[in-house]
Amino acid sequence: MAFSLIRQELAIDLGTANTVIFQNDKIVLDEPSIVAIDNKSGKMVAVGKYAQMMDEKTNPNIYTVRPLRDGVIADFNAAEMMITGFIKMVNGNRTHLFTPSLKMVVGISKGSTPVEVRAVRDSCEHAGAHDLFLIHEPMASAIGIGLDVEAPKGNMVVDIGGGTTEIAVISLGGIVESESVRTAGNEITRDIQEYMAVQHNIRTGFKTAERIKFHVGSVLTELPADEEPVPIVIHGKNIVTSHPAETEITYQEIALCIDKSIAKIESSILHVLEKTPPELYSDIVENGIWLAGGGSLLRGIAQRFTDRVNIQFHVAEDPLKAVARGTCTALKNTDNCAYLMR
């Protein structure tokens, strides 16, 4: 009993935009993947939501870092600090008398190179993981959605995250075809920043552009009347005069300015379908394609993809948690999961 008290099991979705952690089947952490670091000491001063509040508002003594870029660790030290900080948060910032024996399942991008996988492994081990398993994110999201990934049946998922869109066809507990593309939520936000500058002469920060996306983000220029969001009023700085500026943004404008990025995701989906063997393809046509990740919350996305691809798309319930939920299920089956990697 005394031993089990110091054993801890965590399932982690280490995302470019958000980190979600499950423990004992419950979400114990849901925070933006960002740290704030003191420039002189190199020590972490904040992590998650507090660090995000500081983002784009720092002075030269502090800088903020998002340790992941395009779905993979880009800043190893910051990643380690962030993971350690999150585990501390999960433990209520208490320090244990004995370091708990930590078992972890962590999601990784299917497009990760061996060096990038190594970076996740090393950061988790430095943060205290003793028994570490990795799982490809599209596999985790399929499990999290509740698809029967072990069946001899084609399942297809499209996870539009912050840094990457992961597209995969799964059968018999393995990924048959996949693509991991760097067009996802962050690129869509950058499209909005660029549009604001070019069309409205207003310079917007990343956070304001994200707010625009959440409020009036749409991939269709015509939404059903009951789904139409009211335009959002944005206050910013005129690029030319530096005077305060105010403008209203409609969902139709956003649909047009992010169209190119959405089209890139569409062509990758078609590319994966093109490579999919015919028997699995037929299953996918029958079951539809599942959307997960924060990008699937853009208004009209299932409709637009269904129209372009001619296969029904469904948005997962609680799409931002699909990967974490799947890693949580995998954590309970580490002894007999074909899709887990040591």
Ligand X SMILES: Nc1ncnc2c1ncn2[C@@H]1O[C@H](COP(=O)(O)OP(=O)(O)OP(=O)(O)O)[C@@H](O)[C@H]1O
Give how far Cα 141 sits from Cα of 88, 245, 325, Å: 26, 42, 8
Contact partner at residue 111 from Mg ion, ligand X, none, CB < 5 to 8 Å by partner kind: none
DSSP-assigned beta bridge partners for residue 165 = 160, 181
Pick 32 or 161: Cβ nearer Mg ion? 161
Under the criterion CB under 6 A, does residue 294 sit at the interface with ligand X? yes
Which residue in 16, 155, 180, 193 binds ligand X (CB under 6 A)?
16
Q: Residues 150 to 189: which contact ligand X by CB under 6 A?
A: 161-164, 184-186, 189
**Minimum CB–partner distance for residue 86 and ligand X (Å):** 13
DSSP 146-184: T--TTSSS-EEEEEE-SS-EEEEEEETTEEEEEEEES-S
Which residues, other chains included, contact 251 with Cβ-Cβ below 8 Å and sequence gap of 6+? Answer: 216, 217, 218, 223, 228, 229, 231, 299
Which residue in 8, 9, 11, 15 binds ligand X (CB under 6 A)?
15
Question: Residue 290 is encoded by which pair of tokens?
Answer: 């599942």
Q: Is 211 helix (H, G, I), strand (E, B) or coil?
A: helix
What amino acid is encoded at 209 in this protein? Answer: A
* CA nearest neighbour of 252 among 212, 291, 292: 212
**Minimum CB–partner distance for residue 217 and ligand X (Å):** 4
Contact partner at residue 217 from ligand X, Mg ion, none, CB < 5 to 8 Å by partner kind: ligand X
Query: How many whole angstroms separate alpha carbon 23 and alpha carbon 335?
Result: 18
**Minimum CB–partner distance for residue 170 and ligand X (Å):** 17
Under the criterion CB under 6 A, does residue 66 sit at the interface with ligand X? no
Contact partner at residue 139 from Mg ion, ligand X, none, CB < 5 to 8 Å by partner kind: none
Under the criterion CB under 6 A, does residue 300 sit at the interface with ligand X? no
Under the criterion CB under 6 A, does residue 8 sit at the interface with ligand X? no
Q: Is 60 helix (H, G, I), strand (E, B) or coil?
A: coil
Pick 15 or 236: Cβ nearer Mg ion? 15
Under the criterion CB under 6 A, does residue 315 sit at the interface with ligand X? no
Pick 81 or 262: Cβ nearer ligand X? 262
Q: Identify whether the C-beta of residue 257 lies closer than 8 Å to the C-beta of residue 191.
A: yes
Query: How many whole angstroms separate alpha carbon 21 and alpha carbon 327?
Result: 9
Which residues, other chains included, contact 307 with Cβ-Cβ below 8 Å and sequence gap of 6+? Answer: none
- Which residues in this chain contact Mg ion in the complex, by CB under 5 A? 15, 161
**Minimum CB–partner distance for residue 246 and Mg ion (Å):** 35
Pick 15 or 67: Cβ nearer Mg ion? 15
Question: Residue 175 is encoded by which pair of tokens?
Answer: 């990924």
Contact partner at residue 163 from Mg ion, ligand X, none, CB < 5 to 8 Å by partner kind: ligand X
Contact partner at residue 162 from ligand X, Mg ion, none, CB < 5 to 8 Å by partner kind: ligand X
Contact partner at residue 294 from Mg ion, ligand X, none, CB < 5 to 8 Å by partner kind: ligand X
**Which residues form the interface with ligand X (CB under 6 A)?**
15-18, 71, 161-164, 184-186, 189, 210, 213-214, 217, 293-295, 297-298, 320
